[in-house]
């Protein structure tokens, strides 16, 4: 079973060569880190999680590159648990896939069958194996070429699509993820989210800094409180809650902001912008 790429050629380049060049340009962009992952690598603390945006690469790719550069200096994970919002609302509210592979122009990435099945088993009625939730959704797909660019083909994935992002649901999911990953240091959790949507640049900056500040506390409850405030428009906030819960037990956990920008930095239009941030969750 192959989950075919659905946004290749739109959100990112549709051929291997063009995509590799586009990924390089994201890293080398003035908004990006300014260097490629293989330049002057150095060992850093264990990276257990990252937050990465999921717009088209021309808009959010340079910000996302900061998260993946950070990962390039860490150990290659055996399994990447990808959590993203379900923009279309199709399929089971919290859905994974327990077999097959995901396709991009850089090749196919297999699903970690054992971890995905364990997760379904331990989650009870919270989570189901439902490919419909993933069929047309971009929020996870756009992360995979970056992972392939940094890690090659030496990893597997467990995709999780969230149409239900209620804090209670996401905190429960995070606890199940922590339980299933207990004792394993080879698992990476990736939360796919853009920040505020279609505010003016001034309002977006203010609202996004509130969200980032809440994330940096490491307390999922602080994000939950923001999510109920008027005008809140972070599309994947529940994925961040789940990753914070999944990594809450890590010793000396640190959450770091790597880069923040809005779409105005690319388009020059400041009347209706989208915010993007890259963050890491690290521990000793």
CATH code, 206: 3.40.830.10
| Residue 81 pLDDT | 98
Q: What is the pLDDT of residue 252?
A: 86
Give bridge partners of residue 192 from the DSSP assignment. Answer: 52
pLDDT in tens, 141-166: 999 999 999 999 889 999 999 999 99
User: What do you get for the CA distance between the two ends of the chain, in Å?
Assistant: 38
Model confidence over 8-31: pLDDT tens digits?
Answer: 999 999 999 999 999 999 999 999
**Which pLDDT does position 39 carry in this prediction?**
62
The alpha helices in the chain, defined as continuous H runs, are 16-28, 57-72, 113-123, 144-151, 167-180, 201-217, 220-227, 237-246, 264-267
State CA 9 to chain mean position distance.
20
pTM, rounded to two decimals: 0.97
Mean pLDDT of 232-247: 97
Measure CA 164 to chain center. 16
Burial readout 105-126 (b: 16 or more C-beta within 10 A, e: otherwise): bbebbebbeebbbbbbeebeeb
- What's the pLDDT band for 42 if we cut at 50, 70, 90? low
- CA dist., res. 283 & res. 250, Å (int): 7
pLDDT band at 284 (very low <50, low <70, confident <90, very high): confident
User: In the prediction, which pLDDT does 75 show?
Assistant: 86
Mean pLDDT, the chain, rounded, equals 96
How many CB atoms sit inside 10 A of residue 232's CB?
15
pLDDT band at 41 (very low <50, low <70, confident <90, very high): low
Nearest Cα residue to 246 out of 79, 44, 107, 101:
79
- pLDDT category at 60 given cuts 50, 70, 90 is very high
Quick check: 199 pLDDT over 80?
A: yes
Give tens-digit pLDDT for 73-127.
Answer: 888 899 999 999 999 999 999 999 999 999 999 999 999 999 999 999 999 999 9
Q: Are 268 and 193 in contact (CB under 8 A)?
A: no
For 104, counting Cβ atoms within 10 Å of its Cβ (0-12 exposed, 13-18 middle, 19+ buried), the class is buried
Q: Which domain holds residue 9?
A: 2-283
pLDDT of residue 133: 98
Q: In whole angstroms, what is the distance from residue 37 CA to residue 265 CA?
A: 23
As for how many domains the chain has, the answer is 1
CB 139 within 8 A of CB 85: yes
């Amino acid at each position: 079973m192959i989950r075919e790429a659905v946004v290749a050629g739109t959100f990112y380049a549709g051929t291997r060569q063009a995509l590799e060049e586009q990924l390089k340009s994201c890293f080398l962009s003035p908004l990006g880190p300014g260097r490629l992952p293989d330049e002057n690598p150095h060992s850093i603390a264990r990276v257990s999680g990252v937050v990465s945006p999921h717009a088209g690469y021309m808009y959010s790719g340079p910000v996302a590159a900061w998260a993946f550069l950070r990962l390039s200096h860490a150990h290659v994970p055996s399994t990447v648990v990808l959590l993203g919002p379900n923009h279309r609302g199709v399929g089971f509210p919290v859905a994974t896939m327990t077999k097959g592979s995901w396709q991009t122009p850089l090749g196919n990435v297999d699903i970690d069958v054992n971890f995905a099945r364990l997760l379904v088993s331990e989650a009870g009625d919270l989570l189901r194996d439902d490919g419909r939730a993933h069929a047309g959704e971009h929020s996870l797909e756009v992360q995979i070429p970056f992972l392939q660019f940094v890690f090659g083909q030496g990893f597997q994935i467990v995709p999780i699509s969230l149409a239900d992002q209620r804090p209670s649901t996401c905190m429960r999911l995070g606890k199940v993820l922590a339980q299933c990953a207990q004792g394993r240091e080879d698992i990476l959790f990736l939360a796919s989210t853009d920040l505020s949507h279609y505010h003016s640049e001034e309002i977006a900056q203010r609202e996004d800094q509130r969200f980032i500040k809440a994330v940096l506390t490491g307390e999922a409850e602080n994000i939950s409180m923001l999510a109920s405030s008027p005008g809140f428009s972070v599309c994947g906030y529940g994925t961040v809650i789940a990753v914070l819960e999944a990594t809450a037990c890590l010793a000396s956990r640190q959450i770091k902001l790597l880069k923040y920008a809005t779409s105005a930095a690319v388009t020059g239009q400041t009347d209706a912008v989208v915010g993007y941030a890259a963050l890491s969750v690290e521990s000793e």
